Amino acid sequence: MKTRPFKQVDVFTDQPYFGNPLAVVLDGSGLDDEAMQRFARWTNLSETTFVLPPADPAADYRVRIFTPGGELPFAGHPTLGSCHAWLQAGGTPKRQDFIVQECQVGLVNIRREGARLAFAAPPLQRSAPSPAVLAQVAAALGLKAQHILAAQLLDNGPVWLGLLLDSADTVLQLQPDHAVLKKHGLKVGIAGAHQAQTAPVLIARANREARAFSGSTPTGPAETATADFEVRAFAAPIGIEEDPVTGSLNASLAQWLIAEGHAPERYVAAQGTCLGRAGRVYLTRETDTRGSAQVWVGGPSVTCINGTVTL
């Protein structure tokens, strides 16, 4: 065992203790899988990461991501939080335009957006869930058929059953049976708009969205930012009944909802409200001159604990 640099950061908030906490061991060298998993169980946070030298020469660093129940190939808030901690600890990117993170899902580009960081959402695979599975999950959530506007299985490393509900109020009122969700083995991500939309593109919010994605530093604390959608993430199969703020889920939801016309190309998602948090996730889809689209998932991070850990 040795002393290693350590940070605990709060992600998707610029005010401490209102986002999703992440434990970051900044030197994971020499630790085996069992030691990493044991420490992740001990921290009892939704995720703990271990920063390592990259295996791919194109990457700036490599990260391994653990929940209390196992390792993840990719996750959003650990990506932004680990990058924040690495930069704060003196990490220097090889490129000026991006920080490149290596993880099990591959290389992930991260860019600076004023005071925020944003990662490029990994490619998404999606498909329709079976009616039987959808009915079982809806029952575990206490939902009736009319509450569900759309549903998809979403896979960008982690796999989620994504549900678009009729309103943000319906999302906030959910009281899931987590034991039943765990039995089905599915993580479930829920989204609902804060206002009923009569058109697929939310034109009325264009001015606010333009300000939010201008690249400037947010003018107020993240918890006061007006949100377009409310999101909740239920992950009982990996030992987390409800995750406060989930970057990978918001990435896949945005790729799906924007592509199907359920959301604008730029919007803000709130998550963690029912847990006393006030996370804000900034989503935008950019299309290049060749017509290729990329969703970016951004948010601020703040360091709450800075020190060392013996591992």
| Residues carrying an active site annotation | 47
Q: What's the rounded Cα separation, in Å, for the pair 65 and 271?
A: 21
Q: Which of 278, 255, 223, 274 is nearest to 125 (CA)?
A: 255
Q: What angle do CA 279, 101, 63 make, to 5 degrees?
A: 80
Q: What's the rounded Cα separation, in Å, for the pair 214 and 13?
A: 18
Instruction: Answer yes or no: are the C-beta atoms of 248 and 235 closer than 8 Å.
Output: no
Q: Say how many C-beta atoms besides its own lie within 10 A of residue 307's C-beta.
A: 9
Q: In sequence order, what are the residues at sequence separation of 6 or more whose Cβ sits closer than 8 angstroms to the Cβ of residue 305?
A: 6, 7, 8
Q: Say how many C-beta atoms besides its own lie within 10 A of residue 29's C-beta.
A: 11
Q: Strand pairing of 279-287 and 266-271?
A: antiparallel
